[in-house]
Amino acid sequence: MRVARALLGVLIGLALAFFALEQSFRFLLFSDSEFAERHGEKLRNPFLFADYDADSDYFKLQQTWSKGDPNKRFVQRDPKLG
């Protein structure tokens, strides 16, 4: 019984830790706050999450992360649409 209770505690702790890590990661990627933009700058690279040649997710991420900066928008064009 003690082992089962300890195991349950560990599993709940791990689930909460992974949830907190996921939320922190999403905050750094998608928040408009100055803190997130400063500390998540290296993560906000569409090449890390999508293939330029394979799908349109690259352009969606690039558009999401380049708000307000026209120099960062669409540096590379979509091969089909131009």
Using the predicted structure, report yes or no on whether residue 13 has a pLDDT greater than 90.
Answer: yes
Torsion of CA 78, 38, 48, 55, to 10 degrees: -30
pLDDT score for 71: 59
d(CA 74, CA 57): 13
Q: For the purposes of burial, counting CB atoms within 10 Å of the CB of 50, is it exposed (0-12), middle (13-18) or buried (19 or more)?
A: middle
The candidate with the shortest Cα–Cα distance to 59, out of 42, 75, 40, 71, is 75
pTM score: 0.70
* Interval 40-74: pLDDT, tens: 989 998 888 888 888 788 888 888 888 766 555 55
* Interval 15-33: pLDDT, tens: 999 999 999 999 999 998 9
Using the predicted structure, report yes or no on whether residue 81 has a pLDDT greater than 90.
Answer: no
Structural domain boundaries of the chain?
A: 2-65
